[in-house]
Structure 1
Amino acid sequence: MTDSTPPPNTSGMATPEHDALPVSTVADLCTEIEANVSRVIVGHDEAIEHVVTAILGRGHVLLDDVPGVGKTMLARSIATSIDCTFQRVQFTPDLLPTDVTGVNVFNQKTREFEFNEGPVFANIVLGDEINRAPPKTQAALLEAMEEMQVTVDGDTRPLPNPFVVIATQNAVEPNRTYDLPFAELDRFMKKLTLGYPDPDEEAEMLDRTVGHHPIESLEPVADLETIVRARETVAGIRVNDPVREYATDLVGYTRENAHIGVSPRGTISLLRAAQARAVTDGRDYVIPDDVATEAPLVLAHRIKTNSRDRDGPNVVADALEHVPVP
């Protein structure tokens, strides 16, 4: 775990232009962002940490739960804690793909078409109740989430760096929502649920929100440049051979024990999430426990089974139990 062999470049991107921050600095940054968000979101510290690590691991997050538990407020609080561009898209049945990506509009004065950017051109994009829009509109995010670019009328335009989608999904009203395409689910690094707060947490939440809501006074604690440099730090965290093999074995187990197992994209997401997890603990290398901690939230939503009694979380739990830990 202590050799100096650098991890493979799994990003598919060129050499970074930004200098990485020290691991200890990024660990402190994560703590500061999480504490800031906790001023608004009560009782979901673990979920907050998972969203922060996903952002640093160059991933997107899907929040799936019943209405009213704070999914949208969590996304807003994260975005507010970072001094960056933020856009919210309220997904509805009549939303068009161009409402998300943008559209070319003819300018009568210049007699030329001009591109009007859609809300996807932001550092953090909140897709609220994403499953209320039909699959055609949801598919407008596929290229953006995977390649950080948007193609409209044959012209490809890069998205801001960083670019993160935090989407919420309505877990009820199945007759009024659409299933997310499996290809889109696979593009989310993590799928989280918040659940209801316990009585003490709910009482504290009510105390905070009487009068002015704390989101109204929330201030950024990190700038965009710091986040970009922190992501470079995470990308440079060492992932040694035994850990890579452990992640591969976990993924292999899902492929052998489910109708559809985890894709190679899922394996990459698992290791990136584990890298971010290592940084939050102040380490410059990944240990198997980082992989095991992230596996349930990174892998489960990428799995399909043919049994009603055995779903993605069950398969991942079995994998963690049966795959030997190096």
Structure 2
Amino acid sequence: MTWKNHSVLMEFVFLAYPSHPELCVLSFLGVSLVYALVITGNVLIVVAIHTEARLHTPMYYFLGSLSGIELCYTAVVVPHIMANLLQSDKTITLLGCATQMIFFIGLGSADCFLLAVMAYDRYVAICHPLQYPLIMTLTLCVRLVVASVVIGLFLSLQLVVFIFCLPFCRTRGIQHFFCDVPPVMRLVCAKSHIHEQSVLVAATLAIAVPFFLIATSYGFIVTTVLKIHSAAGCHRAFSTCSSHLMVVLLQYGCCAFMYLRPNSSYNPNHDQFISLVYTLGTPLLNPLIYTLRNNEMKGAIGRVLTRNYLSHNN
């Protein structure tokens, strides 16, 4: 039997959903509300950056790209979660599970690489301000964003192909809300140290390497800022980085907990909660962190909302 035929016949069942219909409806309403806020916040950032000429700079271009990736990232799994909450059949085919995992892991990895790119942008702006316009050109910015997405999807494809080429046990139940690496790996029969290390290597490339680049960039930034004698200059330099650092800590904290650890330490209840944090919580908090701590973004979003309100009334 070919993998294609096998993928059509084999299905997984998600076991993490509530069993009572009332809890499913309440969960659906909660997830719908959060998802609506995620879409609204990130779309406002993208529209504000696109329409405001003063925000046409590399820093805001990367921020808009981050919001765009997170819109796609949540769209891979959240609508499927919402549909499962309202239907009794909570199954997914093997091929559907693999496809969902490719894009979920790939776009999540692209998120991590893009945060590293944003740290590099701050490094150039603070450590080499005179050369900044010459280094961070529009062409380079586009290439860095495209490279983040391509590398993320490439690493994800390699990982998912490796996992789904392994033999699965007869047990079809996934202790999760969607297809993610740790719960799916629990269903693999041919468990070995090599398989576990292979997954760990892929996770390291997608998480630890970008984090190392971010840490290195901020090491140079801190060294440069400490040489600034003006208190106002130090405050301005750190304020441009604080929002990014908060997002990095939130994103990498959750990802490291989920993927940079042995498979034997997998705990379904803990991991289900953490997965909801980085699937819904992080895309929700990122727009809030960047807008609440950035007067330019707050002003731009306010003008977008005002224009929409006036055009609607007219």
- TM-score after normalising by structure 2: 0.23
Instruction: Name whichever structure is richer in strand by fraction.
Output: 1
**Normalized against structure 1, the TM-score is what?**
0.22
